[in-house]
Amino acid sequence: MQASGPIPSHAALGRDRHAVTLREVAERAGVSMITVSRALNTPQQVSERTRARVQESVSALGYVPNLVAGGLRSARSHVVTALVPTLSGPLFGEMVQALTDALEQRGFQVMVGQVGYARSREDELLRAIVGRRPDGIVLTGVMHSPEGRRLLMASGIPIVETWDFTDTPIDMLVGLRHEELGTAVCEHLFAKGRRRLALLSGGDERAARRASGFEAAALRLGLRPPAMRLGKSPTTHADGREGLAALLADAPDIDAVFCSSDMLALGVLTEARVRGIAVPQQLAVMGFGDIDFAQTVSPRLSTVRIDGARMGQTAAQWIADRAEGKVVAQPMVDVGFSIIQRESA
């Protein structure tokens, strides 16, 4: 399925957002600005009751102190921070490379952080990042903790969420709808004559939504519920081998497997070969990501491609434009996805 194109802008999106100030914290707490400053920087100089009032105000408003020197607060940092779940695999590399190249052309440098798949790790990094006031933050996904979302919305920093979709983004959004992707893969396998489906998936939220779309489509098509095995993220080749073995133990007659990553699919291909299962004659295998080996493995891997380069370029343009005081006219874009049909399915 190809991209559906830009989505009409939301009134609150694509514009500089108001950063919560020290004055607002002081007004909410009912104290002076200097008292707030003392409570945050030298808490021993204020009473416990005052500290508690200030901390309540800070938490409620999502205020993060600016860690950049006061005289530099009006200057741009020319630094953009990108947070991705993992740097160990190539899935997010295309987006990061495109983001880096496009921002470099506009005078910005990119710092990349790895957050894993736990929200607590993201929150920890966000507190450090927001306090240093980069010119933009690029996030992977739209599922954030309440604290993380509050920090980002209060920061006033241009934010671009990627690799996912929601009708209520923090600021700007370029991504795809994972439920629709799962549905499309199921319908593709059904059209190829596959009726006994299985799903092998990591445990992250985007993979879970693909699995949900896949399962719902199977039931709507009158198929039995897909055999499913959910594991951890990021996924590995070994997870693919172990996953196929477990699926076959539960449902030995499956004739198609949709994997939440190409690395899982490679493990499935390996395990199938070891067991003498012919792919695709006996078992169709679909991956996700279209990473480089998908075209060279034997049999060549059918998969789903996401235009990571477009996501990175779009995020770069939006952040650079906002840093220059421009309004982003269309701050929500669905890049869609493409099913790549090769030999394995």
The predicted-structure confidence for 160-173, as pLDDT tens digits, reads as follows 999 999 999 999 99
Q: Do residue 215 and residue 299 come from a single domain?
A: yes
- Which residues span the domain enclosing 142? 5-16+76-176+308-337
Q: Do residue 216 and residue 164 come from a single domain?
A: no
Q: Which of 49, 67, 200, 76 is nearest to 130 (CA)?
A: 67
According to the model, what pLDDT value does residue 117 have? 73
Q: Which long-range contacts (CB under 8 A, 24 or more apart) does 23-28 make?
A: 24/61, 24/63, 25/54, 25/57, 25/58, 25/61, 25/63, 26/57, 28/57, 28/60, 28/61
Q: Do residue 12 and residue 146 come from a single domain?
A: yes
Q: Using CB atoms within 10 Å of the CB of residue 7, give its burial: 0 to 12 exposed, 13 to 18 middle, 19+ buried.
A: middle
5 sits in which H/E element? strand 5-7
What DSSP character marks residue 302?
Answer: B
> Is residue 136 in some structural domain?
yes
**Strands across the sheet with 136-140, in order?**
5-7, 332-334, 172-175, 159-162, 136-140, 79-84, 109-114
> Is residue 45 in some structural domain?
no
Query: With helix as H, strand as E and coil as C, how does 74-141 read?
Result: CCCCCEEEEEECCCCCCCCHHHHHHHHHHHHHCCCEEEEEECCCCHHHHHHHHHHHHHCCCCEEEEEC
What does pLDDT average to in each consecutive run of 10 residues of the chain (345 residues)?
A: 44 59 90 88 87 90 68 67 85 94 95 80 86 93 90 93 96 97 98 98 93 98 97 92 97 98 97 98 97 94 97 97 92 97 97
According to the model, what pLDDT value does residue 118 have? 66
According to the model, what pLDDT value does residue 2 have? 46
* Per-position b or e across 326-341, b if 16+ CB within 10 A of its CB: eebeebbbbbbbbbbe
Domain count of the chain?
2
Q: Whole-prediction pTM value? A: 0.78
According to the model, what pLDDT value does residue 9 have? 42
Q: Do residue 134 and residue 202 come from a single domain?
A: no
Q: Do residue 115 and residue 10 come from a single domain?
A: yes
Q: Do residue 150 and residue 200 come from a single domain?
A: no
> Is residue 267 in some structural domain?
yes
CATH number of residue 135's parent domain? 3.40.50.2300
According to the model, what pLDDT value does residue 215 have? 98
According to the model, what pLDDT value does residue 124 have? 83
What DSSP character marks residue 68?
Answer: S
Q: Do residue 271 and residue 227 come from a single domain?
A: yes
According to the model, what pLDDT value does residue 11 have? 40
